[in-house]
Every structure is written in structure tokens, then in C-alpha cells.
Amino acid sequence: MKSTILLLAICASAHASVWSEHFSFEKIPNPPGTDPQVGAMDMMKDGRIAVAFHRGEVMFYDPSDSSWSLFASGLQEPLGMLVDEDGSILVMQRAELTRLKDTDGDGSADEYQTVFDGFGMSGNYHEFAYGPARDAEGNLFIVLGVASNGAPMAKEIRGEFSEIGEVDREGMTSGATWGKNKGKAGRMYARVNWRGWVLKISPDGSKMEPYASGFRSPNGIGFDAAGRLLITDNQGDWRPTSPLYDVKKGGFYGHPASLVWKKDWDGRFPLKVPVKELDALQQPAAGLFPQGELANSPTWPVVVPKGALPDGMTGQTLIGEMNQPTLVRVLDDEVDGVFQTALMPIFSGSPLGKGNNRIVFGKDGSMYVGKTALSWAGDNGIARVKWDGKPFLSLDAMKAVPGGFVLKFSQALDPETLEKISVASHTYEYRSNYGSPKKDEKAMEVKKTKLSADGKVLALDLGELREGYLHFVDMTELKSASGGALLGDKAWYQVIKTPK
């Protein structure tokens, strides 16, 4: 047993040293006297990094002299931030979307303006709020988490209360009887308005449109380089594993609690609707994070700017991850108009560490990763990751083709290592239980490999792709023609639609 642990430690150390050959990893000094749990980040025009901390401070970090300055305080659990053109900062608090302004130019916010607060709050500890993300027309999008039956509602609520459910309002707010009522309430519930929904808000905050439903604990919202609204959610009830969604207007994304707020909902208690009926209503995930392998708690999506990573990654989406010491890359694909993705780790085994909650890129291409732990596995503070500009072997694109995949790499491959690629597939069961084991696992024979003349494009002939299944491609043994290691050696492609 000791020898096995030692071998794993040596392998992990070797992998970390490979990452460290191309990236520097450093911890930014924490601001004195502040609980350094990062809830939100963005970059100011002048290159300072705006950071919102869990206890409610908004501070600026200046990379030029490693200094911190306080901009605002007293916010409640900020979990999203957007710096505006005029230098004001939009912050998503638990209770509202707030604009922070420095009107007298002294470096501190003196105006805290409510932009939007038109959603319900039950007082439940799990009702987090995330965003904003801005579309090309300037509209703002926020997404609201649902409550947990780990606790009841408060006696006093904000907004509407839904009577749809097996427990009345008195039963939902009584701590004395919650033990017998919590099972009837559902593991996660949405008894006040718009919990579990994406809301579209006009640029000035004056108008709101309920946009999409079905979310549980969506700790990540943002637009990708193509203008798609991407949202991550966390494994749990009605979540077999953590998903990545390409969110469209009117879509339902799997967690039924929010359906009570659907305009044309028929009045049934969603948790009692047959699973097959709910499954038929939901939109499929564009990508899946296999639990415990790629990610446990995916977080915020950001777009890679030019120069921050090798050119093949420019414009791709990166996603944070709380419980695994990694970030996640998104490789986009489209089959007959259907957006589907391969998800793969980046920095796995590196010195990056856990708790990777928020990401922002600095003007020099440095990646600042804000961390949090709270009561979960994680870390705190901010890590700075910087690429040294030197090329390395990476998978830059993955496309589904009839009967298999085509993989594009940044460098020529060693053809002698191709036979060591393996592929497997599985699915999950959509159900009310917390998570799901893998279902219908199958090792898929790699019938043939074909390498392009330049050695950078690899075709995998599998004979078939399984529609609705997650396909795992293990490239651990691949090497470049010059013997270099593949940085990011696993990929999970969700086949929503098979190419014809």
C-alpha cells in the first residue's frame, strides 16, 4: 500500500513539474484583516483587479505594486461582479443587484444603487444569487438558486409565496415541525418567486423577463465568445452529475422546483410529476462534468483572451472548479445546429490547488483565480497563473464525425503512442435522488486511427457514437513527436446528436 501511495505521489509530482515548465504559480498576498474567501472578480480599465469577498468587502488589487485598497463594504454574500464602462461596478448580492459608484473620485464607493431586486427571498440559507452577465445589447442576466430542506423558510419573506406544494406556509416556516415536513417539501424547493430561474433584466434595471427555469445551485453564468449564455450547475437532486448548459429563452433545465413559477404551469406539485414527463420537458446539457473525475462543483465560465494561453485556446471557455485541483476547458462543437462540447482538465496535478471559484485575466495575460472554501473543500485567497509563452502539446479541438471523433493537437504526435488511446462511454439516470451512478458503461473499440500528414490531426474510428452518452477519451500515454507530454490528457464529450 505504501509503495502504491509513493508511486501516485511521484506521478503527481512529475505532472506538476511539467505544468511548472510552462506556467508560474504564485499566491497573491491577502488583504490584511479580511476573510479572503473570494465571491466575485473582474478587471478595471486601469488593470487593477476588483475583488468581492464573502464577508462583503469590495477591494482593488493593484498588480503594479501588490497593494490592496478598500472600495466598498457591507455587502451580503456577493457572488458575481461586472465592471461597467463608466468605472462603476455591478455586484450581485444575495438580496439584490447593486451598482457601486465613486461619485467624488476619492477611490471609495459613496453610492450604492439598487438596480434590481424583483425576486423572492424566503430567508433560507441556500438561496444564493449569481450574475450578472451582459449580452451584446447590454441586457443583464442573473440566475437564482433554490432553497434547501436543510432548513425551513423564515416567517417573514420577500415576494410571492407559491401555494403549490404538500406543506402550507405555516409548515414551511415552523422550525418546531420542520423535521416531519422537510421530506414533503422536497430536497430543494422554490416556494418564493423566481427561485431556480434565469432572469433577463434591461440595461437600466427597469424591466425584467423570466428567461429560463430548472436550476438548482448554478454557481456560474457567462457568455462565451460566440454569444451563447453558459450556466454551470452542481450535482444534487435531479442532477445526476454537474452539467454545463447552453441556455435558451423558454428552456427548462431539469430541476423541477422552479416550475411552480412558470406562467402556464398546470398547478401540479412538480416533484410529483412523472419523471418521464419532466425528462421530456428538459433541454439536454451541452456538457457533463463526471463527478469525482473531472469536477465536483464547477463554477464561473470565462473566455480566454489572446496571449494568455497558446493560440489554439484563444476564445475558448475556461470554467472554475471548487473541489478538484483543476480548471476545466470547453472544446466547442456543433452537429446539425446542436451545440455540444468536450470538457477536459487544465492544470490538473499542478500547484494551482482547490477552491477555484472565480477567474479573471489581467492586462498582461496573467490569470487570477479567486478561491473559496467556506464549509466545503477548497482554499482561499487568489492564485496568479502566468504562461511563459513557450508552446506545449495540447488538444485544441474535438469534433464528432460519423462513427467517431477528429482531434486536433497543437503539435505533431508520436505515432507509436496512438495505440494506447482508449475510449469508453456511459450515461446517467435522471431522477430525484442526489446524483446518479454511471449507467450502461461500455468500453468502445478504437477500430482505426488515422494521423494527418503533419501529425497534428487524429481521426478515431469507433464504428459508432452513442447518442445521449458521455464519451471518455483517455490520452494519458500520448506524446508529441519530440517526446513532450500532453498537458490535459483526458476529455469527456457529450454526444447529444450523432453526425450523419
399 conformational bin, left if phi > 0, alpha if psi -120 to 50, beta if neither: beta
Angle at 96 between CA 91 and CA 100, to 5 degrees: 35
Is the confidence at residue 344, as pLDDT, over 80?
yes
Q: What is the pLDDT of residue 374?
A: 80
Residue 71: all three cell numbers together: 472600495
Q: Reduced to 3 states, what is the DSSP secondary structure of residue 20?
A: helix
- Average pLDDT estimate for 72-98: 97
| Number of structural domains in the chain | 2
> Domain holding 454: CATH number?
2.60.40.1220
Identify the domain containing residue 490 by its residue range.
395-495
Shared-domain flag, residues 253 and 159: yes
Query: Among residues 387, 411, 439, which one ends one of the domains?
Result: 387
pTM above 0.75?
yes
Q: Reduced to 3 states, what is the DSSP secondary structure of residue 2?
A: helix
CA 486, CA 19: separation in Å to the nearest integer? 10
Shared-domain flag, residues 310 and 168: yes
Dihedral pair phi/psi, residue 413, rounded to 5°:
-90, 155
Pick from 118, 29, 109: nearest CA to 74? 109
First to last CA, the chain: 49
Shared-domain flag, residues 335 and 229: yes
Shared-domain flag, residues 408 and 366: no
Q: What is the pLDDT of residue 376?
A: 76
CB 439 within 8 A of CB 429: yes
pLDDT, tens digit, 9 for 90 and up, residues 420-443: 999 999 999 999 999 999 999 999
Is the confidence at residue 8, as pLDDT, over 90?
no
Is residue 342 in some structural domain?
yes
Q: Reduced to 3 states, what is the DSSP secondary structure of residue 439?
A: strand
Is residue 250 in some structural domain?
yes
Shared-domain flag, residues 446 and 361: no
Shared-domain flag, residues 333 and 413: no
Query: Among residues 387, 418, 436, which one ends one of the domains?
Result: 387
Is the confidence at residue 33, as pLDDT, over 50?
yes
Shared-domain flag, residues 351 and 460: no
pLDDT, tens digit, 9 for 90 and up, residues 91-132: 999 999 999 999 999 999 999 999 999 999 999 999 999 999
Average pLDDT, the chain: 95
**DSSP state, residue 258:** G
Strands 422-428 and 438-444: antiparallel
Is residue 4 in some structural domain?
no
193-219 burial string, b = 16+ CB within 10 Å, else e?
bbbbbbbbbeeebeebebbbbbbbbbb
C-alpha dist (Å) from residue 17 to 10, 24, 329, 348, 366? 10, 11, 20, 11, 19
Q: Other C-beta atoms within 10 Å of 441: how many?
A: 12
Helical (H) or strand (E) element with 198: strand 197-201
CA 20, CA 151: separation in Å to the nearest integer? 44
Is residue 198 in some structural domain?
yes
pLDDT, tens digit, 9 for 90 and up, residues 273-307: 999 999 999 999 999 999 999 999 999 999 999 99
Q: Reduced to 3 states, what is the DSSP secondary structure of residue 375?
A: coil
Q: Other C-beta atoms within 10 Å of 246: how many?
A: 23
